[in-house]
Amino acid sequence: MTQHHQARKRFGQNFLVDTHIIRKIVNAIAPAADDNLVEIGPGQGAITSPLLQLCPGLTAIELDRDLAASLAEKFGDEQGFTLIQQDALAFDFASLYTGRPLRVTGNLPYNISTPLLFHLLNYHHLIADMHVMLQKEVVDRLAAAPGSKAYGRLSVMLQYYCQVEPLFTVPPEAFRPAPKVQSSVVKLTPYNPLPAAAVDEALFAQLVKACFQQRRKTLRNAMKPLLPTKEIDACMVESSLDPRSRAEQLSVADFVSLSNLLAGGSG
Ligand code: SAM
């Protein structure tokens, strides 16, 4: 169908061609026949096709008009298949909630993977799990533990909402055209309920952002735009944290208790 499709760099198009890797991804998802599957960026249908064989209830969201036209031609007759030609970044995923939580999947366009993950987190309460392919370096950041170099805002925000399980690495040769970097498939399972909930999630997100904006700063300095130093120190004492420590030393639970103290909550 799309033999002549010229991969578009601006859409982050690297198509999976390695059947072994495709099988590994589908096996990891292990769709049940009555799942509510959502695929972001189906491209030429490398994963879509085997998924549809196992689960007819699949909604595919593809931005590229030409690819969407080919997909409609190829899978349009399949019962339960829905194609949405739209920007996944602006898509309202709640509109796909049928009472069955969404199972999201996709070999994501790497140029928008971080904003896309943040967009998906808005719907964490409607999502059962997400199996996504990303640059390996991004997966390393998602899964990083406090104290490591890769630990940052992305790690804290993702680990606040989801259990993060890196599954396997995928080499550049598995794609056409081959990307310059290693890729990795990760499973993200939103917690329901959250193990440590922030009283004010917007404040939590703001705090995490401020603390990592200049990660070499001490917490006391990083938090200055949010609070007078006196109050910061009082918060630190109450949460048994050293105001001279840096953001990368704090666990997700530390950030939650700190933001709950700031919110005047229970901590
Ligand atoms: N799933 C296919 C595969 O594995 O071969 C294609 C993966 S390719 C890395 C990313 C796909 O996402 C492309 O088909 C691209 O057109 C699509 N895409 C890019 N930006 C998008 C966006 N904002 N919303 C939806 N799809 C997008």
- Each residue of 152-207: pLDDT tens digit? 999 999 999 999 999 999 999 999 999 999 999 999 999 999 999 999 999 999 99
Residues 140 and 212 grouped into a single domain: no
Q: How far is the CA of 87 from the centre of ligand 1 (A)?
A: 10
Residues 126 and 57 in one domain: yes
Residues having CB closer than 6 A to ligand 1 are: 11-16, 40-44, 46-47, 61-64, 67, 87-89, 107, 109, 112
Q: Domain ends where: 126, 156, 190?
A: 190
Provide the pLDDT for residue 252: 97
Are 97 and 220 found together in one domain?
Answer: no
State the SS3 of 133-149.
EEEHHHHHHHHCCCCCC
Q: Is residue 4 part of a domain?
A: no
In sequence order, the 6+-apart residues with CB closer than 8 A to the CB of 99 are none
Which of 132, 166, 190 terminates a domain? The answer is 190
Residue 265, pLDDT > 60, answer: no
- Locate the ligand 1 atom nearest the alpha carbon of residue 22 and give its number: 4
Residue 3 maps to a domain: no
Backbone angles phi, psi at 202, to 5 degrees: -65, -40
Cα of 13 vs centre of ligand 1, distance in Å, is 6
| Residue 15 falls inside a structural domain | yes
Q: Percent of the chain at pLDDT above 90?
A: 80
205 and 176, same domain (yes or no): no
CATH number, domain with residue 209: 1.10.8.100
* Nearest-CA residue for atom 18 of ligand 1: 41
Please identify, by atom number, the ligand 1 atom nearest to the C-alpha of residue 16: 5
Residue 3: which pLDDT band, with cuts at 50, 70 and 90?
Answer: low
pTM > 0.85: yes
Same domain, 141 and 176: yes
List the domain range (segments joined by +) for residue 231.
201-262
Residue 173 near residue 17 (C-beta atoms within 8 A): no
Is 2 a domain residue?
no
107 and 160 in a single domain? The answer is: yes
Q: Say which CATH number the domain at 152 has.
A: 3.40.50.150
pLDDT at 257 over 50: yes
In the reported structure, the alpha carbon of residue 125 is separated from the centroid of ligand 1 by a whole-number distance in angstroms of 24
* Ligand 1 center from residue 182 Cα (angstroms): 17
Statement to judge: residues 131 and 209 lie in one domain = no
Residue 178 near residue 13 (C-beta atoms within 8 A): no
Query: Which of 13, 112, 116 for a ligand 1 pocket mutation test, highest count of atoms within 8 Å of Cβ?
Result: 13
Name 196's Cβ contacts closer than 8 Å, sequence gap at least 6: 160, 252, 253, 256, 257
Please indicate, yes or no, if residue 83 is contained in any of the structural domains. Answer: yes
Residue 216: other Cβ atoms inside 10 A: 9
pLDDT category, 56, cuts 50, 70, 90?
very high
Q: In the prediction, which pLDDT does 30 show?
A: 98
Q: Regarding beta strands 127-135 and 102-107, do their DSSP bridges make them parallel or antiparallel, or are they unpaired? A: parallel
Using only C-alpha atoms, the chain has a radius of gyration, in whole angstroms, of: 20
pLDDT at position 267, please? 41
Q: What separation in Å is there between the alpha carbon of 210 and the centre of ligand 1? A: 32
Comparing 60-64, 86-90, 193-197, 214-218, which segment has the lowest mean pLDDT?
214-218
DSSP 5: P
Shared domain for 80 and 175, answered yes or no, is yes
- Please give the span between the terminal C-alpha atoms of the chain, in angstroms, as a whole number: 57
- Ligand 1 centroid – CA 265 distance (Å): 42
Dist. CA 191–CA 165, nearest whole Å: 13
Whether residue 196 is contained in a domain is answered as no
Domain boundary among 139, 168, 190: 190
CA distances from 122 to 61, 90, 126, 139 (A): 17, 12, 9, 19
Domain match, 23 and 141 both:
yes
Statement to judge: residues 16 and 141 lie in one domain: yes
In a shared domain, residues 168 and 223? no
Number of domains the chain contains: 2
pLDDT at 266 over 50: no
Q: How do residues 82-123 score in pLDDT, each as one tens digit? A: 999 999 999 999 999 999 999 999 999 999 999 999 999 999
The closest-lying atom of ligand 1 relative to the alpha carbon of residue 48 is 1
Paired with 40 in beta bridges are: 61
Q: What is the average per-residue pLDDT within 114-134?
A: 97
Assigned token pair, 158: 């993702």
Same domain, 177 and 123: yes
